[in-house]
Amino acid sequence: MFSHTGKLMAGARKFKVCSESELAEGSVRTLKIFARQIAVYKIGGAIHAMDGLCKHMNAPLATTGKIKGTKLICSWHGWEYDILTGECLNHSGIALRHYPVIIENGEIFVEFELNT
């Protein structure tokens, strides 16, 4: 796993994560944008970015979570999230925020609104 403090690109709100070749299927990278931790996953060939802390007790999902198919399971207390949507599967009405992913010239970026 990889931690990276994002840097604002000139005139943009996108933060570089890594190159596509560095994110293997079923793997995760983490990115910290200001105070927010974001986890970036590659599942089924698609790349997804969402909040990196469990909604229950802020467990760092990228380092403590277990991936099973498209499910991310928090190892602290078993909260389960759908990686494709961020929805919590065992507690209705709770979800991890998803972020747009941009791929340019083989590089992966996460789009982030600075006022969020």
Half-sphere exposure of 63 (CA within 13 A, CB side): 10
Residue with tokens 């944008």: 33
Q: Which string of DSSP letters, residue by residue, matches 16-59?
A: EEEEGGGS-TT-EEEEEETTEEEEEEEETTEEEEEESB-TTT--
Residue 33 — very low, low, confident or very high, per pLDDT cuts 50/70/90? confident
Per-residue pLDDT of 34-68, as tens digits, reads 888 999 999 999 999 999 999 999 999 988 889 99
**Both structure tokens of 40:** 């970036």
Residue 104 has pLDDT above 90, yes or no: yes
**Both structure tokens of 113:** 């609104």
Which domains, ranges and CATH numbers included, belong to the chain? 14-111 (2.102.10.10)
Residue 24 has pLDDT above 70, yes or no: yes
- The Cα 101–Cα 49 span in angstroms is 7
Kindly report the pTM of this predicted structure.
Answer: 0.82
Residue type, 67: I
Cβ(5)–Cβ(110) below 8 Å: no
- The Cα 35–Cα 37 span in angstroms is 7
